Amino acid sequence: MAEGGDVASTITTQGDILYRDGSGLQRLGAGTSGQFLKTQGASANPTWGTVTSNLTDTAWLEYQDATARFRDSQGISGRGSGDRIVVPLNSYFDPYSLINSLSGNQFTVTSTGAYFVDMYYSDHNIGHFKMYLYNDTDSKFAQRPTSALTAGDNYQAPIIGYATGQGQNDNVGDCYYLETGHNYTFRTTQDNGSSFSTGTSQHYGDYTTSGVTSRNTVARVNLTKMSGV
């Protein structure tokens, strides 16, 4: 004990951790709630570390369809037509207040930065397509992934796809740089004109059982804010 020190006099407070440095016993006081004990290697003292992540808060925007049978975006009023189809959004779940507003299918964000965006879309016989966020305020594609784009890098590259068969459910994930004060819409292309008939599907919407109502989700946009970007 003369060489290493007295344990009782070294650790004095609830939550203290005893460790040895190059000269003897030492005290590591309690860290803050949620921290972890971090080793710094054989020649260094332990310390408290903080768990970090590059993904933080999440919000969902979606179009819920409450008609008697399943309906895709072809039969939804206000959907638009042609090369840039505005996908309707009529509700959102935003526990972390990422969404500033949602009005007329346009949404704004409360914080500028990088977002990972996961987009789901159901359409009938869509053929060739691409899915993306559009910056309605500046009349251009939402840029990605940061604000540090040079003139030569000022482009957007939406993920494209090709669908065959009766219908298609598409899920596309991409990274965007979204800014406060700008209106954004969820868009897709469509080069087929097929309309969706309620008689072609047995998927029911707005169905209630045991007090729980199930509605068809035609489109969903999941926004996840990336920290430190």
- pLDDT tens digit string along 146-173? 665 555 555 666 777 766 655 667 778 8
Q: Please state, rounded to an integer, the average pLDDT across all residues of the chain.
A: 77
Q: Going by C-beta distance under 8 Å and a sequence separation of 6 or more, which residues neighbour residue 77?
A: none
- Kindly report which listed range (133-142, 149-158, 203-212) carries the lowest average pLDDT score: 149-158
In this predicted structure, the answer to whether residue 96 has a pLDDT above a threshold of 50 is yes
pLDDT > 90? residue 51: no
**What is d(CA 186, CA 120) in angstroms, rounded to the nearest whole number?**
10
More confident residue, 121 or 198: 121
Contacts of 198 (CB under 8 A, 6+ apart): 67, 68, 69, 70, 71, 75
The model carries a pTM of 0.67
Residue 199: φ, ψ to 5°: -75, -10
pLDDT of 131: 80
For a pLDDT cut of 70, what percent of the chain falls above it?
A: 66
CA-based Rg of the chain, rounded to a whole angstrom?
Answer: 26
Name the band, by pLDDT with cuts 50, 70 and 90, for residue 195.
Answer: very low
